[in-house]
Structures are given as structure tokens and as C-alpha cells.
Amino acid sequence: MQPLERNRLHALDSIVDDRGELVVIEAQQHVPFVIERVYCILGKQGLARGFHAHHQLQELLVCLSGSCRVVVDNGFERGDWLLDRPNQGLWVGPMEWREMHDFSEGVVLMCLADAHYDEADYIRDYDQFLVEVRGEAVP
């Protein structure tokens, strides 16, 4: 089990001048894996998303616009991060429960993933996640 704080936030290169800001994301430099899929979540205020884990998939979450709060749970401890700038990414690994909350108006959350969509990789029940990650039933 990897502690939740270790290497969780990834700084992305940012070049700022009088024209604005250019943020660079490169696989295996800023992202600790080869990118196979990119998708964006356009969240709605007051509604949460996620509430699942993956057996194998890992992701880097980057808030391109607005903000949201991401909860990551490894079955033993939970961490909570505010994503509110495009030059920082939050790494979420395999066998980690993820939840996205508190979407601001106009939020765009980009997700970089190391594999294509595979429904069989999802764990959508929290109790089942705990059984799988801990290797035992949770009372």
C-alpha cells in the first residue's frame, strides 16, 4: 500500500508571459505513465461524481478551469485535495477509491488515463472495494 501523500501532486510545467500561460503535460515526465485515454468532466454544482475504484487503471486529474475537491481512499486512509489550477495534477492509482465533490461553476476536469475504458476494471461498490483492498470483510 502506498501512502496517500507520497508523490500524489504533480507540478506541470508552466510558461507565463504577457500573453498568458502555457501549461505543458508530457507522458512519463509530468505523468508517471503512458497516456492511452483523455476525457473531460464538465461537473455540475451540487452534484458529486466518481464513487469508484479501478483494479488496474491509474489517472492524473487536472482541473483546467474552475475547481473541485477530490477525495482519494486507499482502504486504510483518506486524503482530500482541492484542484483549482491547470498547472498541477493529482495522481490516483490502481485500487484507490475516488470521489469528486464541490464542482465550481464552469469547471472542466481533465483526466489522463493509462488505459482505454474497460467496465470490468471498475469497482463501483465501496464495501466490495474494501474487501478487495484489505483482503477481508469489513464489519
- Read off the pLDDT of residues 63-119 as tens digits, 9 standing for 90 and up: 999 999 999 999 999 999 999 999 999 999 999 999 999 999 999 999 999 999 999
Element (H, E) at 132: helix 126-134
CATH fold of the domain at 9-134: Jelly Rolls (2.60.120)
For residues 118 and 39, the answer to whether their CB atoms sit within 8 Å is no
Give the pLDDT mean for 32-37: 92
Sequence ranges of the domains in the chain: 9-134
Across the chain, the runs of DSSP E, i.e. the strands, are 9-11, 13-17, 20-24, 37-41, 49-54, 59-65, 68-73, 78-83, 88-92, 97-101, 108-113, 122-123
Cell 490516483 maps to which residue? 92
pLDDT tier for residue 24 given thresholds of 50, 70 and 90: confident
Catalytic residue (choose from 10, 30, 52, 116)? 52
Q: Is 55 marked active-site?
A: no
Convert the pLDDT of each residue in 37-69 to its tens digit.
999 999 888 899 999 999 999 999 999 999 999
* Whether residue 27 has pLDDT greater than 90: no
For residues 68 and 107, the answer to whether their CB atoms sit within 8 Å is yes
